[in-house]
Every structure is written in structure tokens, then in C-alpha cells.
Amino acid sequence: MPDARPSPILISDVQETVARELERIAPLIDDLGARFRDAGHELALVGGPVRDAMLGRLQNDLDFTTSAHPDVTEKLLKGWADALWDMGRDFGTIGCRKGEWQVEITTYRSEKYDATSRKPDVAYGDSLVGDLGRRDFTVNSMALTVPDRGFEDPFGGIVDLAARTLRTPGRPEDSFSDDPLRMMRAARFAAQLGFDVAPEVVAAMTAMAGRIEIISAERVRDELVKLICAPYPRRGLLLLVETGLASYVLPELPALALERDEHHRHKDVYEHTLIVLEQSIDQEERLGNGPDFVSRFAALMHDVGKPRTRRFEDGGVVTFHHHDVVGAKITRKRMKALRFSNDEIDAVAKLVELHLRFHGYGDGEWTDSAVRRYVRDAGDQLERLHILTRADCTTRNQRKAARLRKAYDDLEERIARLSEEEELASIRPDLDGTQIMEILGIPPGREVGEAYSFLLELRMDEGPQSEEAAKAALLAWWAARV
């Protein structure tokens, strides 16, 4: 997958793009702006929507800033909005829906962290320029006043946007001290927009990386997910590693840079991992739902067990035996620390643990039983496992790569054939628990579970059985057991 930096933009093109994008929201911003103006307050479209309008990627979420306090904003929105909510009131924000648009309006404010806080102290500001000056990057520090359509850009955001560069409105050290999460946001925007990060910003991130520890795991997780699901994740990940931030938020990633792969190729495991991530992204159309975090994160974590399992054998051979199992445990621990859901943790850890299962298929014919077990163990992650296994081939040896592709094509064809014949996705024993108890004359308990497991193994080994055959096998097993 290409991860090249997009070309710089001409400011004249920016102006044309933003004019075109504003036509889409003109009725809303003119109407809303007039309501606030008539009530004696200022209102401006601000931040991400202004930036995205210039890039031709305006979404349905619109952010505004205003001189009005939340109670006043709420009154002005009542009777105008289709729906209204105030969960962000403590931070000066009132939200609403108007037609297809989601709108958030926040009072001019300033906020900062003290040395130990995980939450910002919020105070209302008194000017638009002051509000823009507290924002994270110059490309997010532009505003469009409404309804008069005045463009406010006190920190040169449009120039930085045209150059595709991330800078802070003031000193980056002050910005990151006020809100250390902005360091993660720099990496995330680099991944989302393909922007470069200014050298002084990178230097400040490097010097202050440890300050990210005061930020809650949930907020770090959310930025990491956005970064990984962005169009250019390599750019963001490289920045996290380069600045040392990854050592605090995802230490397993920089640890991979210390290892050589087991075949002594030119690339280390870190570079191999980034390639696997990109090759996984190239196959996401198989899932049919856009950026897929589980698939991408499994690609990123699939080899994290290698540093702990590296062994030097005779003749200079390096091995990483059981790095799949060890990696799955490491993945679970990291995702729990980042407060991921149990479902996400289970899915990613399963893929990491199974990513080597295919290897060896091309060396000897798998039995139908082995194919059934592969499908059963993958469960609802089978399609993602197909993607990860194919992406994990990064060899430059074209013959070997072609051989691996052919072997996996063959495996997928066999899975499809057996699935059509046997409904592999829902493999169960040929007799259920009630039938087992009736045939053996036993009550519910451990023995029913053992009998069920026996029949499941039989189903895996020999395929579907008739009820009579399954009953005979069960009775024979029971007799031998007794």
C-alpha cells in the first residue's frame, strides 16, 4: 500500500475548494449565525470543519465557538434544532442535530493541565482569537465567522495547510504542557492527513514524551484507534516510535526494532510488521466495511512475542518458537491496559495466536479434519485470519511468495467446499446434550460434557455422521470408558 506524502496544495485551490464546500452548509450556517448575531453574540465555524472544508472532505459534524455561555446557547437552539443535548455543558458545549448535521457549539474557552491532572481545568475566554490560540495546531486554529463569512487565521493555518505541515499556534512545549494528548494527536493527524510534523514540534514531543503518562488510558486508546484506522498509519506509527511516545503507549512496537527476523533478511521485525499492516489494509475490501481496527491491530501485534522468545541456535540460526502464543498473551495485557472491550481483546488475541497455524500447509496435505479444526478455531475471525495470514508474507523471493499464495488459495477453496457440504461455520456434534442423556441414561453433569466433546472430535475427524452412526460411536465410547 503506498504511504507517500500527498503533494502540497496551492492556496488558490484551497479557496476554490472551501467555497464549494461551504455551499453545502450555507443555509445552516447563515441561519444559525443570524440567530446568535441578533441575540448580540458572536458565532464562528471553527477547527476541524474549516480545515476539512479546505481539503474537500467536510463531514456532517460541525463545530462552532461562540461568545455566548452554554445557558444562552441552549436557549437559542431551542425551537431551531431537531434534537438537543448538553452532556458537554461542564466544558461549555451544547450539542444538537439539525437535519443531517450534527452541531456542537462551545463557549470561547481556555484550558490546561496542571502537572498531575488527567482532566483539564476549563475557563471561559472572551475573544475568538484567544480561543483559537489555545487550540492544538495552526491548521485547526482557523475560523469562519457567521453569518458574515469572515475568515480568521491569526496563526497562518492556511499556509501550513497548503504546505501540509503541522505546527502549533504558540510554542509546542507550552501546547503539550497544557494538554499532553496533543502529542498523540500530532501523530494521528500525520496518519489521517498525510501531513509532515514541523521539526520543532517533533523535538518537543521527544523531550516531553513522558508527560503522556498523566493522560487517561481511554483517551490514549481513542487516539491510537483513530491513528491505526487512518489512511497513512505508517506515518503516525513512525512518529510515535521516533519521539519515544510509543515506549509509553505501545512499547511492544519499538521493541520489535531490536530484533532481526528468523531468516536474516535485510529488514528487522519492526519493518516487517509495518509491511504486514500495509498489506493487511490492502485486503480490507474482503471485509466490506472500510477501515477495520481489529484486522489492522492484529497485523501490528502479530509478532510482539518475538523479543521474548528469541533464541540463538547452533550455526547462528535464530528462532522464535511459540511467539504466537506468547504474543497473544502480550496483546491481551496491552489491550486491557488501554481499556479495550473484551470482544476486541478476544478477537485480536485470537488472530495473533493463530497467525502461524497455516504454515506447513503447503509442505504436506492437510486432512479434512485439520481444515475443520482451522475453521473451528478461527470462529468468527476466519475472514480476518485469511487477511492476516496472506499479509504476513513479505518475502522478496517471488517463487516462495507465489508458492505461499497458491497454497493459501488452495486452503480457502477447500474451506469453501467443506463449508458448502458441512456448514463448517456452525460445526456441532451430531447429537445434542438431550440426546446424549437419553442414549446413555445419565443426568446433566460433567459426563454429558465429556460425551459432547467426544462427539465433537468425532465430527472434526470424520465429518458429518448419521444419527445411528453417532449413537453407535457414543455407546462404544461409553462402554470403553466404563
* Per-residue pLDDT tens over the stretch 428-467: 777 788 888 888 888 888 888 888 888 888 777 777 778 8
Confidence of residue 89 (pLDDT cuts 50, 70, 90): very high
Q: Rounded to whole angstroms, what are the CA distances from 423 to 122, 380, 384? A: 57, 13, 19
Which of helix, strand or coil describes residue 432? coil
Q: What is the mean pLDDT of residues 169-198?
A: 95
Closest to 345 in 3D by CA, of 354, 353, 335, 337: 335
Confidence of residue 423 (pLDDT cuts 50, 70, 90): low
Q: Which residue has the higher pLDDT, 141 or 288?
A: 141
Read off φ and ψ for residue 328, nearest 5 degrees: -65, -40
Rg (CA), the chain: 28
Read off φ and ψ for residue 432, nearest 5 degrees: -90, 180
pLDDT at position 261 is 47
pTM over 0.85: no
Which of helix, strand or coil describes residue 164? coil
Cell numbers that stand for 381 in this block: 475471525
Confidence of residue 156 (pLDDT cuts 50, 70, 90): very high
pLDDT at position 1 is 47
Q: Which residue has the higher pLDDT, 141 or 317?
A: 141
Quote helix, strand, coil % in the chain, to nearest 5: 60, 10, 30
Looking at mean pLDDT, say which of 46-60, 201-215, 461-475 comes out highest: 201-215
Cell numbers that stand for 210 in this block: 513522558
